[in-house]
Amino acid sequence: MAKHATIEAREFLPRIEADIDQRFLIVSFFLLIMLVSSVGFKILLPDILFLLVALVALSSIPVDLFIKSVKEKNPQTAINYYFSYLLFDLFVLTLIVNFIGGISWIIPSIYLFYIVTIFWLFPKAQAIFLLGFTIFLLILLVAGNYSGILPHFTVFSIEDKNPQNLNFVLLTTIAALSILVFLGYSGDIFYRLLDKKIKELQKKGKQLLLTKKILEDEVENKTVELQEERKEMEELVEEKTRELEEKKNIVAIKVKELEKFHKTAIARELKMAEIKEKIANIKEFKSK
């Protein structure tokens, strides 16, 4: 059971490593968009927002190093560690979404990055827990924004959110396209991982077919050899049987000869005894 769990854990590690690599790229690109928006479009963004995004980007580096250091010896530990990291990452993401505009803008769709990958990255139980945790954080964000418990920084005011505001249109378009592009990028990464796995399985399938063919040939050769050996043994048994029959016949003839000789010898002895008795009788008669 433990060996099976280890093999299953190793199946998830390449996906997790690919997710870490793309996560750093996505967050770095998101940070770049924030800088361009702040410097190029003069959009005021809170300093804490830059701090939180930088924290997400930088925190993935030690996580990546730790996973690489333990994945060979204990792959399940690596998976559990990344699972814990995503819990923290989702919490920080919720703060980021709140400071960017909360539920009043398209940014909550960033949660899609997590939802579309968690069942690919983790075993079913952990994936379901992460999905529930994501929904829970989103509900808290919605409830907090609606009730005013969570004060958030509004990037665009109600007046600014109109098709005539170039900054609003550009930034919304860039954000939407970025989300779509990176979702496609994530899909492409996992497709290539899946394609690689399929090719590995196909290669192993060909190897198994080759091994099967070799084993079938060996079995066929061994069967032929055993049949030949069996035939040789049968011939040897037949030969030995014939030899035994011949020896048996010879013994039977010898026995008959011995019986005949025995009968002849006994008859002669009896005859000799009879002659001796007659001689003795004659001698006794003469002496009288």
Measured between alpha carbons, how far is 71 from 64 in angstroms, rounded to an integer?
Answer: 10
CA distance 173 to 205: 47
Where do the domains of the chain lie? 2-197
What is the rounded CA–CA span in Å between residue 130 and residue 84? 10
pLDDT tens per residue across span 2-44: 455 556 677 888 888 888 887 888 888 888 888 887 787 777 7
How far is the C-alpha of 156 from the C-alpha of 172, rounded, in Å?
10
pLDDT at 152: 66
176 vs 206 pLDDT, higher one:
206
Interhelix angle 47-70/2-39, nearest 10 degrees: 150
Rounded to the nearest 10 degrees, what angle do helices 75-100 and 2-39 cross at?
Answer: 30
Mean pLDDT, the chain, whole residue set? 82
Structure tokens at 150: 């969570």
74 contact partners, CB below 8 Å, separation of at least 6: none
- Per-residue pLDDT for 225 more than 50? yes
CA distance 15 to 109: 22
**Digit-coded pLDDT (tens) for 56-67:** 888 888 988 898
Q: List the end-to-end C-alpha distance of the chain, in Å, as a whole number.
A: 118
**Are the beta carbons of 34 and 53 closer than 8 angstroms?**
yes
Residue 221 has pLDDT above 70, yes or no: yes
**Is pLDDT above 60 for 274?**
yes
pLDDT attached to residue 2: 47
